[in-house]
Amino acid sequence: MRGGHRSGNRNRGRGAFRGGRGGKNRNARDTRTEPWSNIPRENMFFESYYRRGIFMDEHEFEAMWKSMASDLPNSFRFTGTKSDALAVREIFKKRYIPNITSVTFDGEPVEPPRAVSAFPDELVWDMKTHKKVIRRFPPFAEFQKFLVAEAASGNISRQEVVSMIPPHFLDVKPGMVVLDMCAAPGSKSAQLAEMIHGDEEDRVKNAAANTPFDSEGGDYSDDGRSTGLLIANDTDYKRAGMLVHQVKRLNFPNLIVTQHDAAIFPSIELPSAPGQRRQFLKFDRILADVPCSGDGTARKNINVWQKWTPKDGLGLHNLQLRILFRGLQMLKKGGRLVYSTCSMNPVENEAVIASAIEACGGNSKVQLVECSDLLPGLIRRPGLNKWKVFDTSALSGGQDKKGHLFTSWEAFCTTKEKFAKEDPDRSFSPKMTEGVFPRSEAAEEERIPLERCMRVYPHLQDTGAFFIAVLEKKDDIKIAQIKSTHDVAAPTQSTQENSALPEALALKRKLEDADEDQSTKRSKTDDESEENIGMAMTEDDQNSELPASSVIDETPEPPVNGSTANKSADRVSAKTAPTNLQPSSQKQIEYFEYLPADDPIIADIFDFFGVDKRFPRDRFLVRNKDGLMLNKVYYTSELTKTVITMNKDRGMRFVHCGVIMFVSHKIKTPDQLKCPWRLQDEGIKILAPWASKRIIECTSKMTLYKLLVEMFPKLNQEGPHHLNEVGDQLQSLEPGCSFMKVEKSEGEDGFPFDMVFPLWRHPGSVNLMVDKEDRKATLLRLFNEKDPVIKNHVADKAAEKALKEKENKQDEGEKADETSHVEANGMEISEE
């Protein structure tokens, strides 16, 4: 399968922050002992803000709020660009759905998993079954085992439904260059990778066979391979590792993982002609799924109910705006950027979009896209043009807190002046800026149509809440055009990434899309806790004068290495940063060294397997400083190679790229091997269409079953064997690795999709080079083997030998004891 065998995992639910200001331990474990079901899903200010903030009418709010207080269904997605994943979907529908449907609980039939109608082709499913039912009935345990196995194989992604929406609105085509700015832990990146990959597998097969193939729908000019590239980025070192774990299972050579602050993501240099101006990579598509307060995750994150505060959104507005600015700078003219959050707060959503468009020069430069034609089955609400902003005021020391709803910046300023006279000890949030408020009426051609944004609420299709806005860059953005009336510190040429850690690191979200574990805690954006606000909110609609505007000094192409530290107020001290963030001076250095196209070892490998000359020889890399073929050899796409080689010495933090293609095979007698390199399961499907030697055809299910349940079955050069058609083909083959191909076929003994496995021919045995967990997953998928026993002939033989040696030693020890006893007795008699 194209899919790999190590599942990534969306760790927790997303939306909170990693670290923050204040003296508390922001990464402390959740130590409460009461069950989640006993924790009340109530928060007066949380409810009051969304009830009275002009978001929806009272009737719809009641439906939404009732849904918010209920548990979120579990959901998963079949990876729709792979034929084997679609076949797995059919196995799921035919094998598991009927068994679950037959279950009854308390006299009522249990609702089985259902396809989510908002997504096409039955690729997205959810399930509302209560945990009590799942624990009680065996069909659910079998279904759970199936989900875990297929997630590890890359055919299924465990992901929240609303989290799957933003990539669809990017409208990615194969051949496009895409950036995921805040990617960890990677479920959206996996979707984007699948879109860039498209259906290249069938096209590559045709290209390798010199058969014409359809080139419509994307750029497949690289012999059927997609020419696109996905760069998945995250600012946090450990989260970038999670991201690698998630995307590696896709075995995607057109992928790079980086670790940078998204707000000052470095420019990526491309080759330029001598004497010409330096060229930098621009992106066709960018996803900015930014850090947010995460109040849309309340159905799976109980901390939202306990700790929600209006300062969450106010504290994040500037960071979100800076990330959006940088994304728009790196976008091609005519390119598309999707901005998304899992928050319902317009301060983090519509206010950020309006501020960005204004700062870039208005609708003539950046335009909101109408997307009603994409995902037409998705029930959504339009973006808001009017809203209220919630803030709290308090006396010094945090006493006597009051909540306030403001309809405009003028009303806030008037109220602040009023309290300054009547109650001078009372203070408001310093994060309140003009940019968080709705815009005043403007001429139609200048008005920003925020209604083109999309809001997904929990009650519409039983999901979490999400905000999505699709932006198209109509013209280049000049420095002089980036002006704003908002207090935003945008990155400048003097910004140095490796100085004091930026707010983007301190406020990095902690909760992710997966709902397996919801016990993580989130921290505040301000010094003080908002847990004990006891006063009712007031609405302040007075007016006052607008303050003078400020100019944002932003450079379209920030450097990778800066010279001086930015002293803006958005910086925080290193001691308040999370301890798991690794400074670049201490971070692990990753090496990516490409091999020359005429490397003799690669030439020998290609000759051994009969690889077509058209398959590129110059895209193989090793991951050591000296560029030596020590253990593993990786394969990447052409554009990936260009980006890595041009920027690896410019300070860019590359974390991962490449698919493992070959692994060194160590044996005691290397002289017996013509090619001491074995094909790796991760990359074999990329190379298989181009190979003409060492091809073994497996046509029987029984043969495949035997090779899966037995490791190292015997196979001599001559004589009988029990490996059927595979054994017949292998007997005349010299030792080394080979491709074992399985083609899709009909009938009871047929296979649901094409497969290819690395098969090693030893002098006296063979072995399918697939680990135990992957063997079990394949046995469950193809043969419904729930608890297979994998027999390892070599391990069994070694264990038997060790046991015999142990028994021999025991026998020798007993004989020695007897001899000593006889000798001792003889000595005793002699002495008497």
Rounded to 5 degrees, what are φ and ψ at 396? -60, 140
Radius of gyration of the chain (CA): 31
Q: Can you name the residues that pair with 285 across neighbouring β-strands?
A: 178, 336
8 A C-beta contact, residue 212 and residue 206: yes
Q: Which amino acid is at 167?
A: P
Dist. CA 516–CA 536, nearest whole Å: 36
> What is the C-alpha separation between 44 and 276, in angstroms, rounded?
61
Helices (H), 688-723: 701-709
* Two structure tokens written together for 238: 């450990």
Provide the 3-class DSSP secondary structure of residue 351: helix
Residue ranges in 487-614 assigned as alpha helix (H): 503-506, 600-609
Length of the chain: 832
Distances (CA, A) of 10 to 512, 569, 683: 6, 32, 24
Binding residues: 182-188, 234, 261, 289
Give the 3-state DSSP-derived string for 630-666, with helices as H, strands as E and coil as C: CCEEEECCHHHHHHHHHHCCCCCCEEEECEEEEEECC
How many angstroms separate the Cα of 586 from the Cα of each of 576, 577, 589, 650?
18, 15, 9, 17
What's the first-to-final CA gap in the chain, in angstroms?
82
What residues contact residue 217 under an 8 Å CB cut-off, 6+ apart? 173, 174, 198
Half-sphere exposure of 528 (CA within 13 A, CB side): 17
The span from the CA of 619 to the CA of 633, in Å, is 10
**How many helices, marked H, and strands, marked E, lie in the chain?**
23, 34
Number of other CB atoms surrounding residue 364 within 10 Å = 12
Q: Is 453 a catalytic residue?
A: no
Tell me if 214 sits within 8 A of 224, measured CB to CB. Answer: no
The binding site for S-adenosyl-L-methionine consists of 182-188, 234, 261, 289
Token pair of 246 as six digits: 């998630």
Phi first, then psi, for residue 295 (nearest 5°) are -70, -15
- Where are any strands of DSSP class E within 460-541? 466-473, 483-484, 537-540
Give the SS3 label for residue 338.
strand
Q: Tell me the three state secondary structure of residue 70.
A: coil
Cα–Cα distance for residue pair 461/381, rounded to 1 Å = 12
> 43 in helix, strand or coil?
coil
The two structure tokens encoding residue 550: 């400020």
Biggest CA–CA distance in the chain, Å, is 125
Decide if 780 contacts 149 (C-beta within 8 A).
yes
Q: Which residue has the tokens 């690795």?
A: 737
CA distances from 275 to 270, 271, 562, 645 (A): 14, 12, 24, 20
Could you write out the DSSP letters of every residue in 205-247? HHHHTT-----TTS--TBTTB---EEEEE-SSHHHHHHHHHHH
To the nearest 10°, report the CA torsion of 267, 271, 275, 280. Answer: -20
* Consecutive H or E run containing 742: strand 736-742
| DSSP strand pairing (74-78 vs 156-158) | antiparallel
Unique residue bearing structure tokens 């807190």: 401
At residue 332, the 3 state secondary structure works out as: strand
The single residue of 292, 342, 371, 413 carrying the catalytic annotation is 342
Tokens of 654: 């590359």
- Residues recognised as catalytic: 342
